[in-house]
Structure 1
Amino acid sequence: MTSNSISTPSGPRDSRRHTPKVDMSGLYQRAIREAFIKLDPRHAIQNPVMFVVWLGTIVTALLTFDPNLFGTVPDTGKQRLLNGLITLILFFTVVFANFAEAIAEGRGKAQADALRSTRSDTTARKLLPDGSIQQVNSTELRRGDQVKIVAGDMIPADGEVVQGIASVDESAITGESAPVLKQPGTDIASSVTGGTRILSDELVIRVTSDPGQGFIDRMIALVEGASRSKTPNEIALTVLLAVLTLVFLIVVSTVPPLANFVGAPTTIAIMVALLVALIPTTIGGLLSAIGIAGMDRVAQFNVIATSGRAVEACGDINTLVLDKTGTITLGNRLADEFIPVNGHSLEDVAAISLAASVFDETPEGRSIVALAEQLGASATFDSQKAEGVEFSARTRMSGTNLPDGGEVRKGAVDSIKGFVRSRSVSVGDSRSGSIPTDLDAAYEHVSKLGGTPLAVCKDNDIYGVIYLKDIVKPGLRERFDQLRRMGVKTIMLTGDNRITASVIAQEAGVDDFIAEATPEDKISVIRAEQAQGKLVAMTGDGTNDAPALAQANVGVAMNSGTQAAKEAANMVDLDSDPTKLIDLVTIGKQLLITRGALTTFSIANDIAKYFAIIPTIFAAAGIGALNIMRLKSPESAIISALIYNALIIPALIPLALKGVKFRPLTADQLLQRNILIYGVGGVIAPFIAIKLIDLIIPFS
């Protein structure tokens, strides 16, 4: 047995962005300016909770100038001071909420500025119909135009290579310094991106995007938030917070009659303060920042998403549909062994395998040629007069039509059997036209090893089996176990036979697999899962993947893939790493977990603020037992609660931007954890903080 050496990666690849560092200087100054600009009522009204605080600030400001505006109050001087303090605290509550959103947007805008620095107008060599070249500005190029690019040129627009082979520097987009080989006619190496640079030779590309609609333009729109729209969950939570605000408004409106009844009258300013303290201002102020930060984390992983809806959908995914090759296995299956059948020798199999692969430029084809040459095989025909037969998903075969009329093929065992039967004629050889009895044994042997068996034949004579070795990527089983604990089902799709597929599936730890899958099977699997009410995600890079990517709830196309795949998907991975889909599920779930945790914390805060303010109001009527926190006075309680209410927003900005640490738990486990940490913690923290503030401030 002869084997080729197969290299495996030393560890998981860091998929974080390696693009030029974003200049973060001045980020906080810009965010502070934006926070005050966002005080514009046209912006404020977009957040119902904070708009109530904004209106409350206006009301208490008016009462600061005239405490008797809505009725006579005793001790006007003290009341004016209290109203002024309430106004100041409410004002900064709104500013802090705007600052949280502005700091999240600011990080995206800083990244967008860095991306804009990589984009510039260039002169392009446009090919005219008569074959001549016209020098034009890159902004004048339109979809369908053909452009010639030579070594040293910047690629002027997104496109597909139609002629030539060249290495391209894509570090401005992916951050990877190693050049990428680009050539026509392949799903994985024909797509080029505007703003990258050609390093060698020359290419002719067909432009696939109009000005302003290129890849970098879409990335800029993504990271700076220009194309961000609220997701369904974010809209639903906004509606819930608005309803809670209305509920607390009704509750607060019942307090003055009760207070008057027990002889502890209140003022409008105090009622405004009570309302602001009770409504969920914490999550209301951080909600936009959480969503923007989720988009930012996706961008940091070198993924461009069409909208926040796609990012959030990752967190709700129930099923992952994954290709085997390149996703679960390392991708480049290499020839490891030739197994003769039908009485042929090892040398015969090597010679026929080489003949079937001379036109196969894939890594698999080249490895077959290399292994055959190691065994001493060489081409015995004029390759200039031979004709290559490309692999197709329909025939599942490839090969060579020889100059003497012979047909050499390699491919899936069942496909080769069908090919041999279709060409079965009597040529005086007992082996010809029949299926060797030892073929199935060789097929099962390779399959049980987890490899891919390819049968090889000439005309109607099967010579043997090629063992293509697959290696499962390290660490995948653990990651699939994490997904399983989160309730996410994994399905592997492969064109391999069922035995090979089952071995790889078991080794990788996926939940299910579909063997001998065709492009149509991908759509069928996705639709079957969606019919059960599940959300499905999948990856793809080829034109034949486009329908399935469009059908999936989350479709992730590879940057190295075809333009059709990119347009059908709602995410594009700039690193072209199919396993990135697992990271995206983690980011999506972290986004939902962070939003849920801070919502729990915000609502739990209301309990402590309730016990801080309500009892002290009625304590003025002599019901001192209600003041369980022993706060100095109703005024001190109100000021302390409002100060805490304002300061907790900037205090939680780092958590909102970074996200709650992700743990692979089930929904029930996550709920229990949220209640324990952010629910109980959200009740205890305000009690302690408000009491400390009450002891510090001189107001009594």
Structure 2
Amino acid sequence: MNAQAKVLQARQEEAHWIASLKPHAELIAALLSGVLILTGWLLDKNGLHSAAVTGYVLAFMIGGFAKAKEGIEETIADKELNVEMLMIFAAIGSALIGYWTEGAILIFIFALSGALETYTMNKSQKEISSLMDIQPEEAWLIRNGEEEKVHVSSLAVGDLILVKPGERIPADGVISRGQTTIDEAAITGESIPVSKQKNGEVFAGTVNITGSVYVEVTKPASETLFQKIIQLVQSAQSEKSPSQLFIEKFEGRYVKVVLAAVAVMMFLPHFALGWSWTETFYRAMVLLVVASPCALVASIMPATLSAISNGARHGILFKGGVHLENLSNIKAIAFDKTGTLTKGKPEVTDIIVREGLAETELLSVVASIESQSNHPLAQSIVRFSQEKNIAYSAPDQLEDAAGWGVKGIVNGKQWKVGKADFVGKEAALSFSEGIANELAASGKTTVFAADDQGIAAVIALKDLIREETKHALELLHQEGIHTIMLTGDNAITAQAIAKEAHLDTFIAECLPEHKVDHLKTLIDDYQTVAMVGDGINDAPALATANIGIAMGEGSDVALETADIVLMKNDLPKIAEAIRLSKKMKRIIKQNVVFSIAVIMLLIISNFFQVLDLPFGVIGHEGSTILVILNGLRLLRL
């Protein structure tokens, strides 16, 4: 290595070292301020008063620079005095009456608490930082049959990339060739690898474990699910809760009251109580220190950020502190059935056809019509027909009646496939000696097929309840929350499912457009209601509820529509989120009550002249540090 290269390397190492110290700048400044205070105190003890004052002034400047700058900038921007300005006034006032040590200690502890609050902010963003660290920056682009390493930002929709075993997938896409297993823990929180075949969807940031695969890019780097998760958590951390907004609004008025009280304190005790001017001014400075609402201001934000970070680490994404705070007020939760309480993939269990009609013929017709529908029941019937190797073709004509069924013409013959009301309720329910009622009573969903001769068949399907559903609902019941299922099934089927899942109640035959009306009624009855759905068909209901919770396995729509997103379809996480919200609320109450109690105690002690400035500084700033540490407890739940 030549001399020039060595110099370049040394400069790079120096730049890296400086960059690594930057996040700790406030703490370093506070500690240096502490060293200068100790130096000034020792000099003062040895009779070197002028040198001691120099040490204290340096401690003021180094320790207080960050907070002074922040306070002045915010005061100019908001045209409102703040806590930082009170601390500056208190420190300067202490120095003016000769209490250099106390003023410097005030600056030191205030800087230390500020550094701790910054640490809390950084700690709460740890999950984002770790996500950003695993975001791939380069990709193997296949161009003219050749591999070329490019930056992920240059990838475009339709590009073909190669992902080798052990590499992180650099972009959202679908597998065009190859098969593998992928660790999707960064997206869903699921530690078990998932097998992926051709046409399987893959996400940026997940790890390709076993095989090489060619992936067709479906989204640019800026719009990947990975980036949306990062943006979502960042947005949540910047959005303030109602409690935080109230405290910030209260802070400006409180500061004015404190300054007015200090102004009165500078004169009134001298004339009314006979205090000396020195004692009067001294007590005014103590009041300025102890009455500042530092601890009160720090009671909420660190706790909220810690809770949001905790949720992100466990796959619960909050779109802001307001939703996290409101979650503790939930009295009832409404659940969509398909894909939320159940697996979302109903299976055909029974087929009863009209006498003289072959089952294969019937399935061929029904599959032909249902193949044009995206409804889960329709897809299940088509899948069942495919498994039976029954041939079908596209219908000659099709008309969809959303929420009711489908009307189509197959081989010149008109058919109706759908609910009993759609094909003729009386005939449907009396078909085959009322078999539909028996099927519905066992929790099965019935689909009827009718032609010009009447009811041709009834097909029964059952959407199996998720294994974790009963456990999740039990946890919610323990929290005193009423559970309701909203389903399009008939009352008999809905009752059977509600009983099996241990739901409190259900609303049957509920069309998508009616869910909003039912939710409004529930809100009137329970005040604060959450809606849990898949984030697609339930979007209007999610928006209507006080809190919308999406169960989307990380789908884009889930991220966009809901207030809270469970990155994995894990219902017990709802109870976990509610407990987290209640814990946060308890900690905030503890902080607020404690900080107000300390302020009142210090003010009273000062008025009775039993509190000296050093103890006032320690009591005031110590309480601020304690409430921040109390909020940090939410990171470890």
- The answer to whether TM tops 0.5 is yes
Partner residue in 1 for 2:298: 285
Q: Name the counterpart of 1:630.
A: none
Aligned residue pairs, count: 566
Provide the residue aligned with 2:628 in structure 1.
653
Residue 216 of structure 2 is aligned with which of 196, 199, 204? 204
Partner of 2:274: 263
Name the SS for the 1:51 alignment partner: helix
> Distance between the aligned counterparts of 1:654 and 1:555, measured in 2?
31
Q: 1:326 to 1:313 in 2, by over 3 A?
A: same
Aligned to 2:565: 572
Which residue type is aligned with residue 462 of structure 1? A
2:158 to 141, 146, 153: 146
**Counterpart in the other structure of 1:275:** 288
1:555 aligned to 2:548?
A: yes
Superimposed CA distance per residue, residues 550-592 of structure 1 (whole angstroms, 9 cap, x where no aligned partner)? 4555434445365344333344332243554444344334333
Which residue of structure 1 aligns with residue 87 of structure 2? 54
Task: For residue 146 of structure 1, give the secondary structure of its aligned residue in structure 2.
Answer: coil
Change (3 A) 1:229 1:365: closer
Separation (CA, whole Å) in 2 of partners of 1:389 and 1:333: 26
Shift of 1:236: 1.1
Which residue does the alignment assign to 2:100?
Answer: 84
1:538 aligns with 2:550: no
Instruction: Report the alpha carbon displacement of residue 412 of structure 1 after superposing the two structures with TM.
Output: 3.9
**Residues 497, 393 of structure 1: CA spacing in aligned structure 2 closer, same or farther, 3 A cutoff?**
farther
- Who is 2:192 aligned against? 178
Q: Which of 317, 340, 361 does residue 304 from structure 1 map onto?
A: 317
The answer to whether 1:320 aligns with 2:314 is no
Could you tell me which runs of 5 or more consecutive residues in structure 1 were left unpaired when the two chains were aligned.
Answer: 1-24, 68-79, 422-433, 618-632, 663-700
Is 2:111 the counterpart of 1:95? yes
In structure 1, give the amino acid aligned to 2:27. Answer: I
The letter of the residue matching 1:272 is: M
Name the counterpart of 1:448.
441
Report deviation, 1:323.
1.0
Partner of 2:70: 43
| Cα distance in 2 between the residues matched to 1:236 and 1:87 | 30
Does the CA-based 8 Å contact 1:302-1:575 persist in structure 2?
Answer: yes
Work out the CA distance in 2 between the residues paired with 1:612 and 1:469: 68
Aligned to 1:394: 402
Q: Distance in 2 between matches of 1:384 and 1:164?
A: 28
Does structure 2 conserve the Cα–Cα contact (< 8 Å) formed by 1:150 and 1:201?
Answer: yes
Task: Give the aligned partner of residue 618 of structure 2.
Answer: 643
Assess, with a 3 A threshold, how the Cα gap between structure 1 residues 218 and 103 changes in structure 2: closer, same or farther: farther
CA distance in 2, matches of 1:653, 1:97: 8
Q: CA deviation at 1:133?
A: 11
Indicate the SS of the match to 1:474.
helix
Local SS of the residue matching 2:205: coil
What's 2:27 paired with? 32
Structure 2: state its 5+ residue gaps: 1-19, 31-62, 76-80
When residues 280 and 120 of structure 1 are mapped into structure 2, their CA distance, relative to the original with a 3 A threshold, is same
Counterparts of 2:296 and 2:65 in 1: how far apart (Å)? 18
Contact 1:193 1:215 in 2 (8 A): yes
Q: Structure 1 residues 442 and 498 mapped into 2: Cα distance closer, same or farther (>3 Å)?
A: same
- Distance 1:43-1:222 versus aligned 2 partners, 3 A rule: farther
Distance 1:110 1:555 in 2: 26
State the shift of 1:134 in Å: 10
Question: CA contact under 8 A between 2:429 and 2:436: conserved in structure 1?
Answer: no
Distance 1:333 1:84 in 2: 76
Residue 459 of structure 2 corresponds to residue 478 of structure 1: no
CA–CA separation in structure 1 for the residues paired with 2:241 and 2:423: 50
Q: CA deviation at 1:252?
A: 4.2
Once the 2 structures are TM-superposed, how far is the Cα of residue 306 of structure 1 from its aligned partner?
4.0
CA RMSD, Structure 1 to Structure 2 (Å): 4.9
- Residue 264 of structure 2 is aligned to residue 235 of structure 1: no
Task: State the Cα distance separating 1:327 from its structure 2 match.
Answer: 2.8
Cα 1:56–1:489 change in 2 (3 A) is farther
Contact kept, 8 Å, 1:27 with 1:107, in 2: the verdict is no
Task: Sort the Cα spacing of 1:446 and 1:384 in 2 relative to 1 into closer, same or farther, 3 A.
Answer: closer
d(CA) in 2 for partners of 1:384 and 1:443? 26
How far the C-alpha of 1:656 sits from its partner, in A, is 0.7
Cα displacement (A) at 1:238: 2.0
Counterpart among 89, 97, 106 of residue 122 in structure 2: 106
Letter in 2 for 1:647: G
Counterpart of 2:460 (choices 466, 469, 475) is 466
Instruction: Report the residue type matching 1:118 in the other structure.
Output: I
How many Å separate the matches in 2 of 1:648 and 1:499?
59
Q: Tell me: CA distance 1:51–1:438, structure 2 relative to 1, closer, same or farther (3 Å).
A: same
Report the Cα offset of residue 228 of structure 1.
0.9
Do the aligned partners of residues 610 and 51 (structure 1) sit closer, same or farther apart at CA in structure 2, a change above 3 Å counting?
same
Amino acid at match of 2:153: T
Residue 510 of structure 1, CA deviation: 4.6
Q: Which amino acid aligns with 1:515?
A: A
1:326–1:212 distance in 2 versus 1, CA, 3 Å: closer
SS at match of 1:466: strand
Q: What letter corresponds to residue 268 of structure 2 in structure 1? A: P
Amino acid at match of 1:110: K
Shift of the alpha carbon at 1:151? 5.5
TM-score by length of 2: 0.71
* Larger fraction in helix: 2
Distance in 1, matches of 2:346 and 2:65, equals 56
The correspondence of residues 354-433 of structure 1 with structure 2, limited to 5 A, is 378-379=388-389, 381=390, 383=391, 394=402, 411-415=418-422, 417=424
Q: Offset of 1:139 from its aligned partner?
A: 0.8
Q: Distance in 1 between matches of 2:405 and 2:143?
A: 37
Residues of 2 paired with 1:521 and 1:180: CA distance?
37
Identity %: 24
Over 3 Å counting, the alpha-carbon distance change for 1:115 and 1:476 in structure 2 is closer
TM-superposed CA distance for 1:162, in Å, is 10
Query: C-alpha distance in 2, partners of 1:366/1:225?
Result: 37
Partners of 1:522 and 1:548 within 8 A in 2: yes
> Is the 2:117–2:628 contact (alpha carbons within 8 Å) kept by the matching residues of 1?
no
Q: Distance in 2 between matches of 1:196 and 1:549?
A: 29
Match of 2:131 among 101, 104, 115: 115
Q: Aligned pair in 2 of structure 1 residues 384, 657: CA closer, same or farther (>3 Å)?
A: same
2:350 counterpart (300, 313, 338): 338
Amino acid at match of 1:236: F
Change in Cα spacing, 1:181 to 1:409, as seen in structure 2 (3 Å) is farther
Q: How does 1:346-357 map to 2 (within 5 A)?
A: none
| TM-score for the superposition, normalised by structure 1 | 0.66
1:517 corresponds to which residue? 510
Partner of 1:216: 226
Instruction: Give the whole-Å Cα distance in 2 for the aligned partners of 1:646 and 1:401.
Output: 79
Distance in 2 (CA, whole Å) between partners of 1:389 and 1:605 is 77
Give the SS at the match of 2:430: coil
How far does the alpha carbon of each residue in 1:480-518 deviate from its partner, in whole angstroms, 9 at most, with x for none? 3245x3xx6544221211222234345545555332333
> 2:334 is aligned with what amino acid?
V
- Report SS of the residue matched to 1:544: coil
Other structure's SS at 1:39 match: helix
AA aligned opposite 1:655:
N
CA distance in 2, matches of 1:387, 1:184: 28
Q: Is the 2:70–2:84 Cα contact (8 Å) retained in structure 1? A: no
Shift in Å at residue 272 of structure 1?
2.1
Give 1:549 shift: 3.9
For 1:378 and 1:612, how far apart are their aligned partners in 2? Answer: 86
